[in-house]
Structures are given as structure tokens and as C-alpha cells.
Chain A
């Protein structure tokens, strides 16, 4: 995954910074996890894996 791209992207749910973790993209604040499909970040809230409460 392109690091320059990751640096400018934000979480579509809460607007916070993102980081790559375990082959997915995780929001530093709300902990939503977004998949990466064929190297393309899927930043759709509907596709996010929400943190377990």
C-alpha cells in the first residue's frame, strides 16, 4: 500500500488519521478497520469492520 497515499487519507467515519495494520487500514481514533482490495483502500463506512465493544 502506497505510504504517501495513506499519509493523506482520513477515516470517512470520524475524520481521524489512518494507519496500516494486519493487511487492513485502521483508524487511530474510532478503530474502524477498512479492507484493502488488490492494493486499493476501501474507505466506505458500510464496508468497515467496527470495533467490538
Chain B
């Protein structure tokens, strides 16, 4: 994890600055990413302690399903963005092909995920972005091999390079053959 953060392009540059937002003290103490940019603030994404139009980009990575009020998070992101700024949201797809094929597996998994307050499909995210009046919204799914857990375990045995190659082939084909049905969703929304 640390390595991945260290390799973000432009991280050392003055043109980039980052601020992490996390409401839970427990999570802040457990964080495995180094302090960089402006560090962290303990705050709610629904009530950001930042003025209007201060950010060029807002990233909500695997977090929107843990927020109390997702629609407020989208409107706060819009408020925070400068014109031309981008919101990126990634989250697990509750409507993936695997979950549609084996709904009972999904139900039993969900029962154990008490920290997930919401579950989203691609259209749910699109609606949230439309509700916050973003101007240009793009939603797609990825991780076509990542949702069945047995498959994930098998892939991890193959080693990182082969695993990565198979995933990218599956994503390229999956987007064409099963649009909207990948294991993860990525939304990109621009404020004009």
C-alpha cells in the first residue's frame, strides 16, 4: 500500500496537494498510508470543513457505501470543486454478474458487512451524480474477475504479473460483453 502511494505521479510536485478526510479516530490510527500533502482531518464527508471551490479533484475511494448520507457527499464534493474539477468515486458493484448469478451468496456476505450502510449499482451512482447536478458523468464497471472469491484466491496463486495481465484482459472483454456487470464501479463526474 505504501509503495503504491509513493508512486502516485506528481506526488513530490508543488502543483499537487492532498488532504485526507476521515470521520473515525480508530480508522485514522490504523491508517497504513503515510502523511503526505496536507495530511488528514477528522471530519465528515457530508460536512466538509473546507470553503467552496478549493479542490481540483475529489476522490471517494471505496468509502461512499460507509457514509451516512451519500447524496450529501456528492453535493459537498460539487461545492468543493473548482470549475472543471473532477469527482471520482469507486465502490463495489452490488449488481455485478456474479451477484446476479448467485444472489444468495451476495445476501449472506452482505449480512456480515455491518459497516456498509448502502450497496450501489452503476445506476445508483449515476442518480447521485445527477442529483448533485454534475455536468458530465461517466460510469463504468471493472474488476470482472475479482468478484467470485474462489476465483480471486486462484488468481492470487498465479503471482502478481500474470494475475494483473488476466485481470486487464478480462476487463477489456467484460466491458464489451457484460457492460455494467463488473465487480467494481468507477464514476467520473466533472463540474463545469
Interface residues of A (CB under 8 A from B): 2, 4-5, 8-12, 15, 18, 37-45
Q: Say whether B40 faces chain A, with CB atoms less than 8 Å apart.
A: yes
Q: Name B38's contact: one of A4, A15, A38, A42 (CB within 8 Å).
A: A4
Report yes or no: A9 in contact with B42, Cβ–Cβ below 8 A: no
| B186 CB–A CB distance under 8 Å | no
Say yes or no: B47 contacts A45, CB within 8 Å: yes
Q: Distance (Å) between the CB of A18 and the closest chain B CB?
A: 8
Q: Looking across the interface, which residue of chain A has its beta carbon closest to that of B43?
A: A43
Residue of A nearest to B54 (CB): A8
A12 touches B49 (CB 8 A): yes
Chain B residue at smallest Cβ distance from A47: B42
Question: Does any Cβ of A come within 8 Å of B41's Cβ?
Answer: yes
A9-B49, A12-B49 as given contacts; A41 in contact with B54, CB under 8 Å = no
Question: Is the beta-carbon distance between A8 and B51 smaller than 8 angstroms?
Answer: yes
- Do A5 and B39 touch across chains, with their CB atoms under 8 A apart? yes
- With beta carbons under 8 angstroms apart, the residue of A2, A12, A40 that contacts B28 is A40
* Neighbour of A41 across the interface among B25, B29, B41, CB < 8 A: B41
How far apart are the CA atoms of A38 and B28 in the complex, in Å? Answer: 10
A-chain residues with CB within 8 Å of residue B103 when the two chains form the complex:
none
In the complex, B19 has a CB within 8 A of chain A: yes
Beyond A10-B49, A11-B49, A45-B47, whether A40 also contacts B39 by CB under 8 A is: yes
A22 to nearest B CB, angstroms? 19
Instruction: Please determine whether A8 and B50 come into contact, CB atoms closer than 8 angstroms.
Output: yes
- CB-CB under 8 A from B47, the residues of chain A are 12, 45
Chain A residue at minimal CB-CB distance from B47 = A12
Query: Closest B-chain residue to A18, C-beta based?
Result: B49
